[in-house]
Amino acid sequence: MLTMWLKTGSLINRRALSGAKAALSSRAMSSSGKLDLTGVYPPIPTPFKQDESIDWEALRSNLTLWNEHDLRGYLVQGSNGEYCYLTLQERVDMIRVVKESAGKKMLVLAGSGCESTRQTIDLTCQMAEAGADAAVVITPCYFKGKMTGEVLEKHYTAVADASPIPVVLYSVPANTTLDMDPGTVANLASHPNIVGIKDSGGDITKIGKMVADTAGEDFQVLAGSASFLLPSLAVGAVGGICALANVLPAEVARLQALCMDNKWDEAKLLQHKLIGPNGAVTKQFGVPGLKESMEWFGFHGGPTRMPLVPLKQNESVQLKKIFTSHGFL
């Protein structure tokens, strides 16, 4: 599959492919040789100027601050990155800038999913060339009635076959209305280049089942939200890609550390404290709320790109009350 794509016009060349594979060999690996994803990752927002162009200096400033915390890396161009409003070139440029500014030990996960398999492969290869350590591939969803388990298996297998970097599945049913079933995930886990899944559905029973069903494959599950990070870790997840970590990186990373150290009583109290703010910057107020709350903690949030609009004044007041009532402001 990879050879076919190289011959038929994939935008990555053989030299870039070789370089990406060589770089992969030097990264943190699990006992089976797969990329170790353990830890917390903020799905970083894309900072914009008032004219909606990308504010590259604000991005670098945010990364400097995040690098000071015990994070494992960053997801670039996830849902909170407003990837669906960016051009393909902007998406690749984001990877390059983040890779240059991230700490040396930080993994850069690239949101490379597109609606077509062909474009997903091309973008994944471009992002690998730009320095991404792994690709996080969202389920295609426009023709959702046709996106059966069999179809998704073929899609992800083609992407993983062609990708020069490891692939992480990405299920976010709140946005796509598609929830990858555990059977499909288990089938894909046997692919040598598919190393895990980011699951944002919040069904702990499903997360536990995916961990159990893929135990022999060294397949890693990442919780897609800080609101269920503790129970996910308790049933075998290895970490989380958590929007709240953009705002409260120390606290979300500490929750992970407490769980890893079996300090469950402390972890439970912290988990309870994070649920309210997490819900506010995800389901309740979304990306505009996330960006506004970042400003209160010294980060650059800035405007969204239309059609997303900033919070109304009453929404801002509600958001601040939530953070204040939980002791963070």
CA–CA separation, 255 vs 229, rounded Å? 8
* Catalytic site includes residue 198: yes
Secondary structure class of 239 (helix, strand, coil): strand
Listed residue (222, 180, 236) closest to 43, CA to CA: 222
- Residue 112 near residue 90, CB atoms below 8 Å: no
Amino acid type, 153: E
Active site residue: 198, 206, 209, 291, which one? 198
CA 148 to chain CA mean position, Å: 23
CA–CA separation, 128 vs 105, rounded Å? 17
Please, how many CA atoms are within 13 Å of residue 49, restricted to the half-sphere of its CB? 6
CA–CA separation, 158 vs 52, rounded Å? 34
CA–CA separation, 126 vs 10, rounded Å? 9
Please, how many CA atoms are within 13 Å of residue 92, restricted to the half-sphere of its CB? 16
As a whole number of Å, the CA-based R_g of the chain is 19
Task: List b or e across 18-50, with b for residues whose CB sees 16 or more CB atoms inside 10 angstroms.
Answer: ebbeeebeeeeeeeeebbbbebbbbbbbbbbee
Active-site annotation, residues? 198
